[in-house]
Amino acid sequence: MKINRRNLVLGSAASAALLPFATTARAQAKEVVIGVIYPLSGASAQIGVDAQKAFQTAAELINNKYDLDLPLARDEGLPGLGGAKVRLVFADHQADPQKGRAEAERLITQEKVSAIVGTYQSSVAVTVSQICERYQIPFLSADNSSPSLHRRGLKFYFRAAPHDEMFSQAMFDFFDALKKKGQKIETLALFHEDTIFGTDSSNAQLKLAQERGYKIAADIKYRANSPSLTAEVQQLKAADADVLMPSSYTTDGILLIRTMGELGYKPKNIVAQDAGFSEKALYDAVGDKIPGVISRGSFSIDLAAKRPMVGKINDMYKERSGKDFNDYSSRQFMGLIVMADAINRAKSTDGDKIREALVATDMPGDKTIMPWKQVKFDAEGQNTFADPVLLQYVGGKFVTIFPEQAAVAEAIWPMP
């Protein structure tokens, strides 16, 4: 079966997927159309493929009955709209902000979506959210972590997951805790790509280092998707910091680790800003070179021991994708749950009413698959209750090492 990546449509049933969706009938629709915009081709295509599986898993739970303590799982469809089913329309932004802008406009004007969820790259979230604001269509930033995204005065922008200032604060809390136990952590080397993700990450880490009394031995910005990182790795090697803190997507992360090996640079410790360092593709390629690497995250599969629902939903996702949830796919899954829950409470597909319902969201953390206190948005559309975790790659898998209340293992420090 040939799949058109530009416009992949998911329906819970073939008949529902083919129904016409007229603008004038939105409020009485038998289905609710939600746009999902991700890189489905190019260097980040695997992210998009995994995202599709996460959103499809969420749609399956929404559209059918499951005995799970998750919003909408126990009903078929959206009871607030008479059992209307969620239909997803996928669009490919190819990691290009301008392509993202065009695809968002197409989803709104041609596909008649009631909301949009996306986008992996924060640089694409900038343009997509601007289009959504213009058309007054709610946008839920499922997995973008740039702190500046929710500070642009947009009324239709929402983010349930943490941003990089929250993630970075968890890292520095971790450093402080280790220092209290007698570990030597004085110098840090920042290594970040030059898009909004890397720049915002670096700015957050610079600010925290200054506040907490850590010295920045190197602050290296490189061009995203660079063909070579030799010069940059030589600078990192010369700095020889106690902790290397990379903010890099998958292909850049693989190139970084391979270049470090070629130049004989082995950091004492790596604490990464997620992104490529949460991706299976990176560990398949270079995981043997970085045992003990630490990455921040939003999700921990360890939570399944305390909350069995997490394991059951993970199994559903794994059946589709062949993988466990990771930091990205878990946030993508929850992004659709949060948006669908708001549409259900709005009892409408009108953008203003959905926005009002998102503003009123108050979802307990134990009704999610995440280690969050709750989902509740502040005046800027950010959930400030999304507690990050730190994960360490040990024995070919990640284990939670911080904070103490979520940890299942002690951190191995320094890296083996």
pLDDT value at position 6? 41
Calculate the alpha carbon distances from 225 to 161, 252, 275, 279 in Å: 26, 6, 14, 16
In a domain, 381, yes or no: no
Instruction: Indicate if 271 and 327 belong to the same structural domain.
Output: no
CA–CA separation, 319 vs 297, rounded Å? 23
CA–CA separation, 176 vs 209, rounded Å? 11
Degrees (nearest 5) of the Cα angle 120, 230, 94? 25
In a domain, 383, yes or no: no
pLDDT value at position 298? 84
pLDDT value at position 1? 40
Instruction: Indicate if 12 and 122 belong to the same structural domain.
Output: yes
Supply the DSSP symbol for 5.
Answer: G
Contact 381, 152 (CB under 8 A): no
Tokens of 287: 């995981």
DSSP states along 269-289: -BEE-SGGGG-HHHHHHHGGG
Instruction: Indicate if 148 and 222 belong to the same structural domain.
Output: no
Contact 246, 223 (CB under 8 A): no
Identify the CATH number of the domain in which residue 244 sits. 3.40.50.2300
Instruction: Indicate if 48 and 155 belong to the same structural domain.
Output: yes
Contact 218, 189 (CB under 8 A): yes
Residue 267 preceded by cis peptide, ω within 30: no
Instruction: Indicate if 394 and 366 belong to the same structural domain.
Output: no
CA–CA separation, 222 vs 174, rounded Å? 26
CA–CA separation, 23 vs 66, rounded Å? 31
CA–CA separation, 54 vs 330, rounded Å? 7
Instruction: Indicate if 176 and 79 belong to the same structural domain.
Output: no
Instruction: Indicate if 171 and 288 belong to the same structural domain.
Output: yes
HSE, CB side, 13 Å, CA atoms: give it for residue 32.
32
In one letter, which amino acid is 269? N
In a domain, 349, yes or no: yes
CA–CA separation, 363 vs 162, rounded Å? 15
pLDDT value at position 280? 81
In a domain, 415, yes or no: no
In a domain, 382, yes or no: no
In a domain, 380, yes or no: no
pLDDT value at position 32? 98
pLDDT value at position 11? 41
Instruction: Indicate if 339 and 394 belong to the same structural domain.
Output: no
In a domain, 393, yes or no: yes
pLDDT value at position 277? 87
CA–CA separation, 415 vs 292, rounded Å? 5
CA–CA separation, 205 vs 190, rounded Å? 8
Beta strands in 93-166 (DSSP E): 115-118, 139-141, 157-158
Instruction: Indicate if 174 and 293 belong to the same structural domain.
Output: yes
Q: Structural domain of residue 341, as residue ranges?
A: 5-162+304-375
In a domain, 413, yes or no: no
Instruction: Indicate if 169 and 72 belong to the same structural domain.
Output: no
**H-only helix segments in 289-372:** 308-321, 327-346, 351-359
pLDDT value at position 29? 59
CA–CA separation, 117 vs 114, rounded Å? 10
CA–CA separation, 219 vs 152, rounded Å? 26
CA–CA separation, 128 vs 139, rounded Å? 8
Element of type H or E holding 228: none
Instruction: Indicate if 28 and 154 belong to the same structural domain.
Output: yes
- In which order are the strands placed within the sheet that holds 389-394? 271-272, 294-297, 389-394, 397-402
* Residues contacting 239, CB < 8 A, separation 6+: 187, 189, 217, 218
Q: How many domains does the chain have?
A: 2
Instruction: Indicate if 263 and 369 belong to the same structural domain.
Output: no
pLDDT value at position 312? 97
Tell me the pLDDT of the chain (416 aa) as tens digits.
444 444 444 443 333 333 343 333 344 558 999 999 999 999 889 999 999 999 999 999 999 999 999 999 999 999 999 999 999 999 999 999 999 999 999 999 999 999 999 999 999 999 999 999 999 999 999 999 899 999 999 999 999 999 988 888 999 999 999 999 999 999 999 999 998 888 988 999 999 999 999 999 999 999 988 999 999 999 999 999 999 999 998 999 999 999 999 999 999 999 998 778 878 889 999 988 989 999 988 888 888 888 899 999 999 999 999 999 988 999 999 999 999 999 999 999 999 999 999 999 999 999 999 989 999 999 999 999 998 889 999 988 888 999 887 888 899 999 98
pLDDT value at position 302? 83
